[in-house]
Amino acid sequence: MNIFEKCESNVRSYCRNFPDIFHRAKGSIIYSDSGKEYIDFFAGAGALNYGHNHDYIKQKVMSYLDADGIAHGLDMYTSAKEKFLAKFDEVVLSSRKLDYRVQFCGPTGTNAVEAALKLARKVKQRSGIFSFMGAYHGMTLGSLSISGNVGIRAGTIGTSNNVTFMPYPYGFMESFDTIQYIKSVLNDINSGIEKPAAIIFETVQAEGGVVVAPIEWMQRLKNLCDENDILLICDDIQVGCGRTGPFFSFERADIVPDMVVLSKSISGYGFPMSLLLIKPELDVWEPGEHNGTFRGNQLAFVGATAALEYRESCNFEQDVKAKELFLKNFLTQQILPISEKIAIRGIGMIWGIDMKNFGGSSLAKNITSRCFELGLIVERAGRNDTVIKILPPLIIDLVTLEKGCSIIKEAFNDCISK
Amino acid sequence: MNIFEKCESNVRSYCRNFPDIFHRAKGSIIYSDSGKEYIDFFAGAGALNYGHNHDYIKQKVMSYLDADGIAHGLDMYTSAKEKFLAKFDEVVLSSRKLDYRVQFCGPTGTNAVEAALKLARKVKQRSGIFSFMGAYHGMTLGSLSISGNVGIRAGTIGTSNNVTFMPYPYGFMESFDTIQYIKSVLNDINSGIEKPAAIIFETVQAEGGVVVAPIEWMQRLKNLCDENDILLICDDIQVGCGRTGPFFSFERADIVPDMVVLSKSISGYGFPMSLLLIKPELDVWEPGEHNGTFRGNQLAFVGATAALEYRESCNFEQDVKAKELFLKNFLTQQILPISEKIAIRGIGMIWGIDMKNFGGSSLAKNITSRCFELGLIVERAGRNDTVIKILPPLIIDLVTLEKGCSIIKEAFNDCISK
Amino acid sequence: MNIFEKCESNVRSYCRNFPDIFHRAKGSIIYSDSGKEYIDFFAGAGALNYGHNHDYIKQKVMSYLDADGIAHGLDMYTSAKEKFLAKFDEVVLSSRKLDYRVQFCGPTGTNAVEAALKLARKVKQRSGIFSFMGAYHGMTLGSLSISGNVGIRAGTIGTSNNVTFMPYPYGFMESFDTIQYIKSVLNDINSGIEKPAAIIFETVQAEGGVVVAPIEWMQRLKNLCDENDILLICDDIQVGCGRTGPFFSFERADIVPDMVVLSKSISGYGFPMSLLLIKPELDVWEPGEHNGTFRGNQLAFVGATAALEYRESCNFEQDVKAKELFLKNFLTQQILPISEKIAIRGIGMIWGIDMKNFGGSSLAKNITSRCFELGLIVERAGRNDTVIKILPPLIIDLVTLEKGCSIIKEAFNDCISK
Amino acid sequence: MNIFEKCESNVRSYCRNFPDIFHRAKGSIIYSDSGKEYIDFFAGAGALNYGHNHDYIKQKVMSYLDADGIAHGLDMYTSAKEKFLAKFDEVVLSSRKLDYRVQFCGPTGTNAVEAALKLARKVKQRSGIFSFMGAYHGMTLGSLSISGNVGIRAGTIGTSNNVTFMPYPYGFMESFDTIQYIKSVLNDINSGIEKPAAIIFETVQAEGGVVVAPIEWMQRLKNLCDENDILLICDDIQVGCGRTGPFFSFERADIVPDMVVLSKSISGYGFPMSLLLIKPELDVWEPGEHNGTFRGNQLAFVGATAALEYRESCNFEQDVKAKELFLKNFLTQQILPISEKIAIRGIGMIWGIDMKNFGGSSLAKNITSRCFELGLIVERAGRNDTVIKILPPLIIDLVTLEKGCSIIKEAFNDCISK
């Protein structure tokens, strides 16, 4: 591992938890240089809902490359983008009667979040943004300013971006009515807090520790926004694209946010891509007002189109529901009984085992390390990394899913008995 | 063009200047759906120094895909990253006796700029950043705060990020000693401006209108930083990777910045990728303190490695010098004589024809539009888009280069005679 | 009233509610040019606890002037300041075993608040300040940034000062444990809110609508600050100097804040004066680091010394308790029975009649206007000015107090029967 | 000096340079407890243009107190305010054909500066303010943000207020056209600096080291503001009220700023008072939008009215011109010849001896300390306190003026010969 230690910045992180060199991958399996196989319960942090190197998508991508399709297209009109837009409109938007304009942002989630914040401020001509405690939205300055983790802000000394963090229904904050709290702040002219341009939220706070927002809470949040002329932005980067079952994670609450951010799995193949969906009446951008060199990552468009085609060919949503049931049962029956101090939370194919009160961060780390030794890649999330986050590719077959789960069980046994 | 108008956000811009649908490209030529061929003097805004779909790189990329090499690797250790680091270290760093750590950022230039700002603030525990009038560094909030164009900031109401804009030697600001100005500010305890963590600069302000910094100016800037314990960050996104001749654009001044930002052409194939180079003693990141889902765009690593291999195989730098001479001669002999009100500026293979005093933005637009009709893609840049920016792929052959230039000449004739 | 309308800025306000020209005053009575007498239940918004032109203080002030005592002394050592410091130390600090350094600020409350914020940030090297919803601390930029009323901030566009507003136990916010809320925010590394340098609070939110903090709440707030290395600043401008009974309003909770701001009644005669009290270990100011031309308002020092002397000569605290009882009885027996929708709140000699649910701002205004016609000056406060604030001079005699109260009763009758 | 050291904050400063306890003063003479007499060349930092305890003003103030005139009046209409407004309108405004509304601010200069900034931002709905390097405007957060001295900002970590410091014609900045610099910034859409709401300036930077702005510079500044729809605010706190000869210091440039800040000597007797003068069309304040307990310092109004009456009774302006000539001659003939490294600057009755290149701060300090021993109070100012600032009361008689000057000469001799 010489060259990494010699040349790569100290900022590298996942490689420290998964100390092997990987070279090949297929579906839910990653292969290391040394020939070892790992089941992947991490799925590129949500970027690989379709698994690694999905054959249908791969074939489309390779054909495109082979034919010298344009690889880099800025934001010019290209055939690849045309096909993606048509397919996305048909499969995702029209079929749900959703009316959104699509903005292709610099191909990272954080870039689309930044675009959303800028547009909201421009539309409403207000500077404030409400975000939630526990939120994670990205690492560029705007996104960082709305992310809850204060431990990663060291470098932003002296910047200030008019963000107010509101309580998310979790921990002590679950003990009172958090929507009423926000209402009270907005209705009190002496609250010190001005009406924001937008409220940005995640339906599931993944990095916050897999905290699932109640349906009624989301509905009341949407109503509160409407009543107060505030835009509602849903950051669906990690749990969109089918992670919770339906394509968008907010569908379960039957709400339509004013803007939606998509990234991670949208390209189908792990290629960098991000979208901002904007209600047409909010699309007040001047041409070029938000730009970026890599908005036109054509290979990602090709992959994204293929992924949507593949999606149509099978019963994705129902399939996820089945695996959700499996995971829930496994956690309830195999993990929860280990200790009443363990909590489990989740929905669809994102689940967390909260070890906060049972060994904390250190036991959680021991368990995920032991999983790695046993051939399973699984990460931690949440406050102080106490939550073991289960995030397999959606296309994982039941045998592999079961195998991964049994490794978790085994790791628990190994670590607790020590 | 129905689907674009129906579905794509109003923010789309280049497509408005180049209203055709493109589907294939090779080298310096782009082909539209309708079969029309365009010479490309835009080169993906600098992302395509090696031209479109370069065969050597393409073959490496396709082999990698075919073998199910990992496509998405977060920041884990992968074979593709290992090979890139080794090659980059060998060809770019060691051969120049440069000692930098490499940080893989979210794969957009702006993300690497954000990382640089954060790290500088963290290292120096100061909040201020000096940037330059005319600068362009990107569209996320941190990068935007150091970009000169105030017309694209509408959405950032109420954010403030302790940035001070200093005069760059251009226009009126060229009439006095801008380095002495900065010194005077730093040495005056009553200047109102605190010592910054870093000064970020471009050796050529491309978006600022192709303004080339004098060598002595850069050297004095570096000295000023050293004397005042300020970090110097070079944003080499657009003019690095050989655009001005040598790999890094600052080599001509024989200085070594404390951090260097690379992106655009680094992947060789137009794939999203960015790097932050950091002097080892400044690499104080905590693991994961700046992260991002797409840091490990493996295909980009494969492309980047291939590009460096290709680079070694030919005499790139000398080749650029030859074409620089050609461009300079063309502009001096064919364009300058049109009017004494026209100015030309440039270096290597980035040149600008400044029409500010000769027809301004509107004539510049007419000319580039006429170029497009005649089969040449060339963009405008600079204040109010008055500068016609010539930015061909570095690998363009002389015949095509000449052909492109003659289209420019023809467009001038057509537009002026009107 | 010609000259005022011709020459004075539209910003003037109290004169609109009390439209007469006043020229003389004594004790609790103000006389207008036209010879009309008014009982004063406003007491200079708390600056006239000793009433108007108190004879003992007046005589000291006139002697000083007559002898050409220094009127303006910057922050040089003067006899007047020396006497004040000795008396303040003896009567206020030592007798309570309080160990504070005294900072003479520019002679307005807001200036001392600004000094407190600056010092707290300097001491803790953190930028954040927690303030409370409903708080009022002044009108200069720093003080305004910690004041709850967002309606008076129009002119501060684009300034941002890292202030977080916390819930004060009032309204909906009273329905849950607000101290636990703050604790939860501080203990949650993902709350998005960094540990502040200081928390600033009022023991009674006067402008917030006469909201009295519970004793236990203040004690828990102090503990929370101690446990988290956060400074606690008490803004005792309006309710210090005996307004609630003891000299400092926080004495009832038996806590010792790290800094205390005094102003309003400290000079005894309504002269501009303010103090910041600082625990010795926090007094890390460099000489002159916070200054101001009028720090040495010598007449105010003379008045303040005389006021403390007078204070010693009578049983001030017990006297206030007696009048508190009178006011409470009056409000409970005469006002509350008018409607169950009326709320009363108060302590010592600051009381509020909350009309929010009974006629609101408009009825409250009608009543105070009617009071004025009947010869009583009484103001409104609180959200939307719905609270009638009773704030007589502390030295008011019982007959006049009773007379003022009966005018309020009469005004209620007059306005409700309409 | 026990009680001061025991009780007063370390922030105290002038007392360190003038270590005596003062108790009485008259005209230009201050008397200490020990009976020593000092000539006052400091004049309360400009607050005592009429000298100490001026008899005419004193008699008016004492009569007012004796008659129980209202001492504290918030912003109600009072006879004292009425008389002041009428006199100010007659003597200062109407006679100069100036049309300003008068705002009574909290009675410190900084408070009026804060009001000016808020109003400018509100009127123009822009957040930026341009201030000048070397400027001093006060110590509350808004005023501090526009003051050049970065050494006194330690406590403002993390606040940011959109202020841009522009070069003032001094030092290196005098070597180019600073007005053209500002123009260039405003006209360059890529300068990174947005059009501000206002530019605030001093006609003489007193704390900046007695730097006198050229008349043409002020005129061009005013034109620049007009052409760009930017408000011009003149901070005339230290050099207004006749210090440079005419009542307003900007009269010599024949310009009319949009707002003017007055304080210091306006009350005539050293009482805290400040005014903001506002062009009527800019007076868009809501009632109470900027307030403060001590806006109605009635004794100051009485003093101010008397001072204006006194002013009328003598030929103030001509008198100042005569003393200006005396001071200029003294400095030119007695001080300048000491060394060619000494610089002198000044106008009216504010003059500076710049020792920057001749012994610097330490020799300047030695000289002012020696002056104090010899019975003269004179302060230093400017960058690093290298400028000896001569600021006698305007009413000083020529004998005392001469005596003070000869002490300075003697102190120079004493300190240099050492």
Give me the residue spans of the domains in chain C.
14-46+316-417, 58-313
* Inter-residue contact A74 to A293 (CB < 8 Å): yes
* Inter-residue contact C332 to C304 (CB < 8 Å): no
Nearest Cα residue in chain C from B156: C158
User: To the nearest whole percent, how much of chain B has pLDDT over 70?
Assistant: 100
* Inter-residue contact C259 to C276 (CB < 8 Å): yes
Look at residue D141 and give its three-state secondary structure: helix
Strands C129-132, D387-390: pairing is: unpaired
Residue B412: what pLDDT?
Answer: 98
Per-residue CA distances from A110 to A230, C274, D23, D163 (Å): 21, 48, 66, 29
Question: Where on the phi/psi map is residue D68: left (φ > 0), alpha (ψ -120 to 50), or beta?
Answer: left
Neighbours of chain A (3+ CB pairs under 8 A): B, C, D
Angle ∠(B156,B162,B164) on CA atoms, nearest 5: 100
CB contact under 8 A, A79 and B288: no
pLDDT at B51 over 90: yes
What architecture is domain C14-46+316-417?
Answer: Alpha-Beta Complex (3.90)
pLDDT at D418 over 80: no
From the list C148, C165, C192, the residue facing A150 with the nearest CB is C192
What is the Cα B254 distance to its own chain's centre?
A: 20
* Inter-residue contact D328 to D351 (CB < 8 Å): yes
Strands D198-201, D231-235: pairing is: parallel
Tens digit of pLDDT for each residue in B285-341?
999 999 999 999 999 999 999 999 999 998 889 999 999 999 999 999 999 999 999
State the nearest Cα–Cα gap between B165 and chain D, in angstroms: 6
CB contact under 8 A, D139 and C114: yes
Q: CATH classification of A58-313 is 3.40.50.10320, yes or no?
A: no
Nearest Cα residue in chain A from B59: A66
ipTM: 0.97
Nearest Cα residue in chain D from C34: D79
Nearest Cα residue in chain D from B130: D192
Residue D233: what pLDDT?
Answer: 98
Chain D residues whose CB is inside 8 A of the C19 CB are 77
Chain B residues whose CB is inside 8 A of the A240 CB are none
* Inter-residue contact A392 to A41 (CB < 8 Å): yes
Residue A131: what pLDDT?
Answer: 98
Cα dihedral C372→C374→C376→C380 (10° resolution): -40
Who contacts A359 (Cβ-Cβ below 8 Å, separation ≥6)?
A366
pLDDT at A248 over 70: yes
Mean pLDDT value across chain B: 97
Strands A101-104, A163-166: pairing is: unpaired
State the nearest Cα–Cα gap between A331 and chain B, in angstroms: 27
Tens digit of pLDDT for each residue in A201-231?
999 999 999 999 999 999 999 999 999 999 9
DSSP at C94? G
State the nearest Cα–Cα gap between D117 and chain C, in angstroms: 7
Q: What is the helix (H) or strand (E) element at residue B352, kind and residue range?
A: strand B350-354
pLDDT at A310 over 80: yes
Who contacts C280 (Cβ-Cβ below 8 Å, separation ≥6)?
C99, C100, C101
Nearest Cα residue in chain D from C47: D293
Per-residue CA distances from B185 to B171, B195, D343 (Å): 20, 9, 21
Chain A residues within 8 A (CB-CB) of chain D?
157-160
Residue B160: what pLDDT?
Answer: 82
| Pairs of residues, one from chain C and one from chain D, whose beta carbons lie less than 8 Å apart | 405
* Inter-residue contact A96 to A258 (CB < 8 Å): no
State the nearest Cα–Cα gap between A206 and chain D, in angstroms: 30
Neighbours of chain C (3+ CB pairs under 8 A): A, B, D
**Token pair listed for C338:** 């008018």
CB contact under 8 A, B107 and A107: yes
Number of Cβ within a 10 Å radius of residue B229: 10
* Inter-residue contact D246 to D349 (CB < 8 Å): no
CB contact under 8 A, D118 and C156: yes
State the nearest Cα–Cα gap between B77 and chain C, in angstroms: 28
pLDDT at C409 over 60: yes
Who contacts B371 (Cβ-Cβ below 8 Å, separation ≥6)?
B41, B377, B378, B407, B408, B411
CB contact under 8 A, B157 and C158: yes
Chain C residues whose CB is inside 8 A of the D4 CB are 77, 81-82, 85
Tens digit of pLDDT for each residue in C302-346?
999 999 999 999 888 999 999 999 999 999 999 999 999 999 999
Laid out side by side, the sheet with C376-377 consists of C22-26, C29-32, C37-40, C376-377
Residue C2: what pLDDT?
Answer: 87
Tens digit of pLDDT for each residue in D92-111?
999 999 999 999 999 999 99
The C-alpha atoms of residue C152 and residue D292 are separated, in whole angstroms, by: 13
From the list C52, C154, C288, the residue facing D122 with the nearest CB is C154
The C-alpha atoms of residue A187 and residue C55 are separated, in whole angstroms, by: 47
CB contact under 8 A, C8 and D85: yes
pTM above 0.95, yes or no: yes
Number of Cβ within a 10 Å radius of residue B373: 10
Tens digit of pLDDT for each residue in D187-202?
999 999 999 999 999 9
| Pairs of residues, one from chain B and one from chain C, whose beta carbons lie less than 8 Å apart | 8
Confidence of residue A36 (pLDDT cuts 50, 70, 90): very high
What is the Cα D42 distance to its own chain's centre?
A: 12
* Inter-residue contact C65 to D61 (CB < 8 Å): yes
Chain B residues within 8 A (CB-CB) of chain C?
157-160
Residue A17: what pLDDT?
Answer: 96
DSSP at D191? S
The residue of B188, B199, B207, B356 whose CB has the most chain D CBs within 10 angstroms, and thus the best one to mutate to test that interface, is B188
State the nearest Cα–Cα gap between B144 and chain D, in angstroms: 10
SS (H, E, C) D58-124: HHHHHHHHHCCECCECCCCCEHHHHHHHHHHHHHHHHHHCCCCEEEECCCCHHHHHHHHHHHHHHHH
Residue D155: what pLDDT?
Answer: 83
CB contact under 8 A, B175 and D171: no
Chain D residues whose CB is inside 8 A of the B189 CB are 149-151, 383-384
Per-residue CA distances from D259 to D85, D97, D115 (Å): 17, 15, 10
For residue C322, report the phi and psi dihedrals to the nearest 5 degrees. Answer: -60, -45
The residue of A5, A9, A81 whose CB has the most chain B CBs within 10 angstroms, and thus the best one to mutate to test that interface, is A9
Look at residue B321 and give its three-state secondary structure: helix
Nearest CA among C114, C110, C141 for reference residue D118: C141
User: Is the model more confident about A396 or about C155?
Assistant: A396
Q: What is the helix (H) or strand (E) element at residue C315, kind and residue range?
A: none
* Inter-residue contact C249 to C236 (CB < 8 Å): yes
Q: What is the helix (H) or strand (E) element at residue A368, kind and residue range?
A: helix A360-373
The C-alpha atoms of residue B39 and residue B30 are separated, in whole angstroms, by: 7
CB contact under 8 A, B194 and D153: yes
Residue B155: what pLDDT?
Answer: 83
Nearest Cα residue in chain A from D157: A158
Report how far apart the first and last C-alpha atoms of chain D are (Å, whole number): 30
pLDDT at B171 over 60: yes
The C-alpha atoms of residue B163 and residue B215 are separated, in whole angstroms, by: 25
The C-alpha atoms of residue B42 and residue B206 are separated, in whole angstroms, by: 12
DSSP at A78? B
Query: Is A175 buried (19+), middle (13-18) or exposed (0-12) by CB count in 10 A?
Result: middle
The C-alpha atoms of residue B26 and residue B20 are separated, in whole angstroms, by: 17
Tens digit of pLDDT for each residue in A358-403?
999 999 999 999 999 999 999 999 999 999 999 999 999 999 999 9
What is the Cα A346 distance to its own chain's centre?
A: 14
* Inter-residue contact D107 to D297 (CB < 8 Å): yes
Chain B residues whose CB is inside 8 A of the A285 CB are 9-11
Mean pLDDT value across chain C: 97
pLDDT at D150 over 90: yes
Nearest Cα residue in chain B from D166: B191
CB contact under 8 A, B160 and C157: no
Residue C1: what pLDDT?
Answer: 55
The C-alpha atoms of residue A14 and residue B76 are separated, in whole angstroms, by: 5
**Token pair listed for B390:** 């010539």
From the list D13, D78, D119, the residue facing C22 with the nearest CB is D78
Chain B residues whose CB is inside 8 A of the C160 CB are 158-160
**Token pair listed for B148:** 């000169």
Nearest Cα residue in chain C from B159: C158
| Pairs of residues, one from chain A and one from chain B, whose beta carbons lie less than 8 Å apart | 407
State the nearest Cα–Cα gap between C340 and chain D, in angstroms: 32
Tens digit of pLDDT for each residue in C217-226?
999 999 999 9
Q: What is the mean pLDDT of residues A15-34?
A: 96
CB contact under 8 A, C193 and A150: yes
Confidence of residue A418 (pLDDT cuts 50, 70, 90): low
pLDDT at B1 over 70: no
**Token pair listed for C100:** 């504070």
Look at residue A243 and give its three-state secondary structure: coil
For A20-34, B147-161, B222-236, which range has the lowest pLDDT when averaged over its residues?
A: B147-161
User: Is the model more confident about D324 or about D154?
Assistant: D324
Residue C159: what pLDDT?
Answer: 82
Residue A2: what pLDDT?
Answer: 87
DSSP at C332? I
Nearest Cα residue in chain D from B192: D148
State the nearest Cα–Cα gap between D160 and chain A, in angstroms: 7
Look at residue A343 and give its three-state secondary structure: strand
State the nearest Cα–Cα gap between D134 and chain B, in angstroms: 5
pLDDT at D158 over 90: no
Neighbours of chain D (3+ CB pairs under 8 A): A, B, C
Strand residue runs (E) in D250-383? 259-262, 275-278, 343-347, 350-354, 376-377, 379-381
Q: What is the CATH number of domain A2-54+316-417?
A: 3.90.1150.10
**Token pair listed for D107:** 């009675």
Residue A158: what pLDDT?
Answer: 79
Q: CATH classification of B73-313 is 3.40.190.10, yes or no?
A: no
Tens digit of pLDDT for each residue in A284-306?
999 999 999 999 999 999 999 99
pLDDT at D157 over 90: no
User: To the nearest whole percent, how much of chain D has pLDDT over 70?
Assistant: 100
The C-alpha atoms of residue A255 and residue A73 are separated, in whole angstroms, by: 34
Confidence of residue C295 (pLDDT cuts 50, 70, 90): very high
Who contacts D187 (Cβ-Cβ below 8 Å, separation ≥6)?
none
Confidence of residue B156 (pLDDT cuts 50, 70, 90): confident
Chain A residues whose CB is inside 8 A of the C132 CB are 192
* Inter-residue contact D153 to D143 (CB < 8 Å): no
User: To the nearest whole percent, how much of chain A has pLDDT over 70?
Assistant: 100
Residue A345: what pLDDT?
Answer: 98
Q: What is the mean pLDDT of residues C174-199?
A: 97
Tell me the β-bridge partners of A377. A40
Q: What residue has token string 């404030």?
A: A128
CB contact under 8 A, A192 and C146: yes
Tell me the β-bridge partners of D277. D102, D260
From the list A73, A78, A127, the residue facing B157 with the nearest CB is A127
Angle ∠(C333,C334,C339) on CA atoms, nearest 5: 95
The C-alpha atoms of residue B234 and residue B256 are separated, in whole angstroms, by: 9
For A152-166, B99-113, C235-249, D223-237, which range has the lowest pLDDT when averaged over its residues?
A: A152-166
Chain C residues within 8 A (CB-CB) of chain B?
157-160
Query: Is C246 buried (19+), middle (13-18) or exposed (0-12) by CB count in 10 A?
Result: middle
Who contacts A257 (Cβ-Cβ below 8 Å, separation ≥6)?
A222, A232, A233, A234, A250
Nearest CA among A266, A71, A25 for reference residue B272: A71
Per-residue CA distances from D285 to A14, A304, C180, D334 (Å): 56, 55, 40, 52
CB contact under 8 A, D121 and C19: no
CB contact under 8 A, D52 and C70: yes
